[in-house]
Chain A
Amino acid sequence: MTTPTISVPPVRKSSRGARFGRVIGSYGPFVYVFAAIAYLMLPVVIITLFSFNDPVGKSNLAWRGFTLKYWLDPFGVPGLGNAVVISLEIAFLSTIIATTLGTLISLALVRHRFRGRGPTDAIIFLPMATPEIVMGASLLTMFVAIARPPFFPLNTLTILIAHIMFNISFVVVTVRARLAGLDQNLEEAAMDLGANEWITFWRITFPLILPGIMAAGLLAFSLSIDDFVITNFTAGRTVTFPMFIWGSARIGVPVQVNVIGTSIFLIGIAFVIISLILQRRRQAS
């Protein structure tokens, strides 16, 4: 019997080129990741920086010097405060309604058997695969078609209807993932111990899927408060925060808009960090 021979290459001192290659190999990928993240964050940095700008005239596109005056007077432009309030109202209401409707749908999809699952899946998937402009245009056409003349009044209510519509699908996807990963034995155990369906849901299922519902709500809120395209078609004369930016983009966006944009960014980040800390604590205890 012959033993297989393995040829061992002679050990060589690594050349300068090979060492250079190894350095590139170990640091290169991270340099790339940091460059990509810097590229992604650059506009956020610019938005923040230009909230401290002191522009001459209306255009806030060139750096003219540092000032705090717009941070001290964030609603000093007529209409801006109102627009932010309307955006917040729509975001809150659409989040609450869409999260409720979407959670109910997810419960039916994961926990129940029923006929017509295919079409149900389709109508939940399609809004996410449709360009926003087509959904906005369709809603506008419908509002015009069902009430003409007089013209169907486009207002906060029509924006709200649209935002609930596109949020439902995102809520279903998020909550469904959480529900599907849930151990069904826990619910069955509760039932075996004499709890009825209602009590089982509120004592067992709901607390367990609450993180999923919260995540869905956060997603819905951020989608709603930043939505421009669908709002553009369903707003009529109502001005939300994104509509305000769009309207002022041609003549020059007021510095206060950057102040509010930066604040929204910071609040959003703070929200995520706080919820992460709470989650860690709950897991630890």
Chain B
Amino acid sequence: MGVLVRRYRKAVPYLLLAPGILWLIVFYAYPAVQILIASFWSGTLETGFTFSLSNWTNYSDALDRYQDQFFRSIIYAGSATILTFLIAYPLAYVIAFRGGRFKNLLLFMVIAPFFTSFLLRTISWKIILGDTGILLGPLKDIGILDPSFRLLATPVAVISGITYAFLPFMTLPIYISLDKIDRRLIEAAQDLYAGPWRPGGTIAGAVFGGGLFAVLAYAFLWDYIPMIAAGVVGGSVLGTALLSQSFIRVTLPLSLPGVFAGSLLVMIPAMGDYVNATLLGNPSTNMIGNVIQSRFLTNNDYPTASALSFMLMAMILVAVTIYGRLLGTENLTTGRGI
């Protein structure tokens, strides 16, 4: 009897785990193996597929045909990640350090858009960014923009759509890591004569502002020289005013785990996204997600699509590893750091 009870005790955790973990093995892990197998298939849906290792050419063919889309996915997802960081960091910072008793309300408003449909929100950007919409219409009427200027069907629309869609994913983890910082550390830094960060803040601001406006000028077809000059001036003023030594030496390093988690939460879905590119872009802005979706669901080209999916997954794993090494926060992938 005692033996039985002891055996039962030992079995308890496994009994608790079994149904859920089994579900994940059968419907997450096994399909992942299956898609690797399918990437070595040849044949069509009608005739049936056959597996052969010699079909590794699926990979080289797919890469050959869709390298543009792959490249575009990296660029778009990367730009969107940087933009969400630039918007989210000050937002999370002000809520965490100055939010006071409105902290929770402000945070709630950051995630409130998630209560409406993701697709409907993306479609409403079509209304906002439309050729005569609420943004471009007035600017065209007063003659700032050329009547033929458009945002829809351009990379700008796709990148800003992705940026908008995943902004809360960046804001929340940064907020959590900032909120956890012991304020006494910052006070201690100030007591130890941490003052304005000069000339570092000026230089960092100038470089960042210049770079950002160069990209904007490229996207909106503005003149480079005046735009970059404006970016450098604006950036250096902001950098001088906002970046202090205590921020650079204490707050920023302590918030890096949140930045890391947020970047992954934005980068991973952005790399595979096809909704923004479909609704806000045109065929020349197609990302790898568009190719995978249409190869699977329209063309029934399972071997190519599987090879592309597997490469996407592998690329993300490699990127996560490199990025983790760079930030020196490897154990964050397990979520322990936040």
Residues of A with Cβ closer than 8 Å to B? Answer: 21, 29-30, 32-33, 36-37, 39-44, 46-47, 50, 61-62, 101-102, 104-105, 107-108, 112-114, 120-121, 123-127, 129-135, 137-142, 144-145, 148-149, 151, 161-162, 164-165, 168-169, 172-173, 222, 226, 228-229, 232-233, 241-242, 245-246, 249, 253, 257-258, 261-262, 264-265, 268-269, 272
Interface SS of chain A: helix
B228 within 8 A of A: no
> B305-338 interface mask toward A, CB cutoff 8 Å, 1 = contact, 0 = none?
1100100110010001000000000000111000
Residues of B with Cβ closer than 8 Å to A? Answer: 12-14, 16-17, 19-21, 23-25, 27-32, 34-35, 37-38, 45, 48-49, 87, 90-91, 94-95, 98, 106, 108-110, 112-121, 123-128, 130, 132, 164, 167-168, 241, 264, 268-269, 271-275, 279, 289, 292-293, 296-297, 302, 305-306, 309, 312-313, 316, 320, 333-335
Minimum distance in angstroms from A7 CB to a CB of chain B: 15
Q: Are B334 and A164 in contact (CB under 8 A)?
A: no
In the complex the two chains form, what is the Cα distance from A146 to B90 in whole Å? Answer: 50
Q: Are B108 and A272 in contact (CB under 8 A)?
A: yes
Which chain B positions have C-beta within 8 A of A228? 118-119, 275
Most buried by A among B34, B45, B305: B34
Which chain B positions have C-beta within 8 A of A165? 23-24, 27-28
Which chain A positions have C-beta within 8 A of B333? 125, 129
In the complex the two chains form, what is the Cα distance from A33 to B275 in whole Å? Answer: 28
Q: Are A43 and B113 in contact (CB under 8 A)?
A: yes
Q: Are B16 and A105 in contact (CB under 8 A)?
A: yes
> Can you list 21 A-B contacts with CB-CB less than 8 angstroms, sorted by A residue number?
A33-B95, A40-B110, A40-B167, A41-B112, A101-B23, A105-B20, A108-B12, A108-B16, A112-B13, A112-B16, A114-B17, A141-B35, A142-B35, A145-B37, A229-B274, A232-B297, A233-B296, A241-B117, A265-B115, A265-B116, A269-B112
Minimum distance in angstroms from A5 CB to a CB of chain B: 17
State which of A123, A137, A253, A269 has its C-beta within 8 Å of the C-beta of B21.
A123
Which chain B positions have C-beta within 8 A of A121? 334
Which chain A positions have C-beta within 8 A of B241? 21
